[in-house]
Amino acid sequence: MSKPTVLILCTGNSCRSHMAEGILRNAASDLIEVASAGSNPSGYVHPKAITALNEIGIDISSHTSKHMNDFLNQDIHTVITVCGNADQACPNYPGQSHRHHWGFEDPAHAEGSEDEIMEVFRKVRDEIRLVFEAYSSGIRAGNS
């Protein structure tokens, strides 16, 4: 029996969705498949998102930016949107049982010095980590 797939959506699929994908995969890959995509993919994964996750021991450097329509022919158990635009644009996927929306600030829009911008990425990473590790605990307890 295959593991259920959780698809995490954002607009650009460059920061938040990749951080959430990496964190959730790290926490629950033994129970679920995890993927991410965007409604208007940027075409890259933000280097500061990669750095922020490396700081907590999670490597997302091999991730690629994908369009949410790439998953329309796949059986998706749960869709989680992490930004408002993706929540509004999100289609229904075959087999979809659950949908959640947990919005996070977009660190790609942070302004200031390199250090100040990196601090925003860390703050968003830590917020995502808190939510998605709690979600993983719910999966382990038998909830989606």
Q: Give the active site residue among 19, 34, 79, 83.
A: 83
The two three-digit tokens of residue 1, written as one number: 């029996």
The two three-digit tokens of residue 102, written as one number: 């947990």
Q: Give the active site residue among 90, 120, 124, 128.
A: 90
Q: Give the active site residue among 10, 28, 34, 45.
A: 10
Give the DSSP H or E segment for 89.
helix 84-89
Q: At what angle do helices 114-140 and 47-54 cross, to 10 degrees?
A: 60
90 annotated active-site: yes
CA–CA separation, 23 and 13 (whole Å) = 15
15 annotated active-site: no
The residue among 97, 71, 75 whose CA lies nearest residue 9 is 71
Return the C-alpha torsion angle 13, 62, 44, 73, nearest 10. -50
Q: Which residues are catalytic?
A: 10, 83, 90
